[in-house]
Chains A and B, each alone.
Chain A
Amino acid sequence: MRKSKTFPVICLITTISIVLILAVLLNISGLTTYGVNELTGLAKLFVLNIPDPTKPWSSHAFEIVTAILWDQRGLDTYFETSVLFLAIVASVALLSYYGRRHVLEGTGDGYTTMIVKIVTKLVVPIIAVVSASIAIHGHLTPGGGFQGGSVFVVAPVLILLAYGSRFLSSRGFNELRLLAIRALSVTLIFVVGLVPVLYFLMHGTAYLFQNTYKPDSAFTYPYLIPTPIGEILTAGSIMIYNILEFFAVAAGFTLAILLLTREFERGEKK
């Protein structure tokens, strides 16, 4: 970077001009005219078709956003999950460059006082229950597998900050197991998407990542399970995807944060 005094001024002027041009463009293109009171055609198609069980392209789910993610564009979402998986694998590979034996052991004992430790003990079970609820009810209420998994990761972060990484590692949260859970969940998501293809090979027409029956295909996951008390609404494969994605995201982010905390603790010892 240059030492001259005019450089920060040039930086500032450049940024401000970029932002002003963007603002003018946004206003011209009509993005800020938010008062449009009609849905677009595509949105109307989704809103009218997904929740209505009488329509041929229905997903039998309350929550339209999750239904779009896992039914209407399920293959897309699978690849998005794979991107996250690859990022975590690449990060682990970067860290283990300097030898495995450092990675496998934790050294820290926590950095906080008694107050934080006791509050962590109280809050962690509640966080786990809330995150599981968000994931399992993903097809009924706003939420889903990714959101539930992200909420769950708060619990390991609290434990790592209050008790240190050795506490988590000694209770079974070591990184090989976490990576195995992560890989298994992503594989199972793909297997659930692949079951219709097996049906196609044996019986008749079915589509990759198909959820419920379609006009030309009789294959369907059970979307309404009758019980003596009432009917359980599972929205086909969406609930299975949500639960698997919950485990995948929770294990993956716990692994990443565990490794970062260990690096932090190792740097502290030196």
Chain B
Amino acid sequence: MITLSEYFMTILITCMIVNLGLALYGVFFKPNLIKKIIALTILGDTANTFALIIGYRMWVAGVPSRPPVFTEWRSNNPLLLFVFTKTAVDPLPQALVLTAIVIGLAVTLFLVFLTLQAWKIYRSVDMRDIRRLKG
């Protein structure tokens, strides 16, 4: 028998794989540069979500997993830290994904300005037109 959380997780991963396909299709085969950039951001977000799922952990006996924020550290109780280790999710993929989001944002920003420059020079953002103009 499949539990509710497994059911939702299956839906999530199916949707992400479909998302991956749509994003790859957009990056490879759409001639419009703006649509290529949109597909690239979807691709990056899908990859980031996969990375987050690696760090996720199942609920243990109905107790939900916690975000990696430990608020009881002034109590100096080692038992609390032990319990925290048993329920907290992995913080490392989250830190890496934060870095990836910043870099992705920088790349997207630069691509948008490059597309703007292409529009100024060629008066078109269609790959087919640009290719025809420059041979």
Contact = CB atoms under 8 A, between A and B. Distances in A.
Contact of A22 (B17, B78, B112): B17
Given A52-B73, A63-B69, A90 B113 contact: yes
Given A34-B9, A40-B90, A88-B109, A19 B73 contact: no
B58 interface: yes
A91 B113 contact: yes
Interface stretch (A43-51, A162-170, A176-184, A189-197): A43-51
A62 to B, nearest CB: 6
Given A62-B69, A62-B71, A84 B90 contact: no
Contacts, number: 145
B92 A76 contact: no
A120 to B, nearest CB: 24
A19 B24 contact: yes
A48 B113 contact: no
A27 to B, nearest CB: 9
Identify whether the interface residues of B are mostly helix, strand, loop, or mixed: helix
Interface in A206-245: none
Contact of B29 (A11, A95, A263): A11
B99 A76 contact: yes
Contacts of A81: 102
A263 B73 contact: no
Contacts of B71: 62
B26 to A, nearest CB: 9
* Chain B interface size, under 10 / 10 to 19 / 20 to 34 / 35 or more: 35 or more
B60 interface: yes
A160 to B, nearest CB: 15
Interface string A130-147: 000000000001101010
B128 A1 contact: yes
Interface in B51-80: 53-58, 60, 67-71, 73, 76, 78
B28 A84 contact: no
Contact of A19 (B21, B54, B57, B84): B21
Interface string B90-131: 111011001101110111011011101100100000011000
B69 A47 contact: no
A141 B69 contact: yes
Contacts of B54: 31
A48 B82 CA distance: 8
B31 A84 contact: no
Nearest to B97: A65
A174 B60 CA distance: 53
B92 A42 contact: yes
Interface of B: 9, 13, 17-18, 20-21, 24-25, 28-29, 31, 50, 53-58, 60, 67-71, 73, 76, 78, 81, 84-85, 88, 90-92, 94-95, 98-99, 101-103, 105-107, 109-110, 112-114, 116-117, 120, 127-128
Interface of A: 1, 8, 11-12, 14-16, 18-19, 22-23, 26, 31-32, 34-37, 39-40, 42-44, 46-48, 51-54, 62-65, 68-69, 73, 76-77, 80-81, 83-84, 86-88, 90-91, 94-95, 97-98, 141-142, 144, 146, 256, 260, 263
14 contacts: A1-B127, A8-B29, A19-B20, A22-B17, A34-B9, A40-B92, A46-B92, A51-B84, A64-B68, A65-B91, A65-B94, A76-B99, A91-B110, A260-B112
User: Sorted from nearest, which 7 A-B pairs have the closest CB atoms?
Assistant: A19-B21, A87-B106, A51-B70, A91-B113, A64-B68, A68-B95, A64-B91
Given A8-B29, A141-B69, 4 more contacts: A1-B127, A31-B54, A44-B85, A83-B103
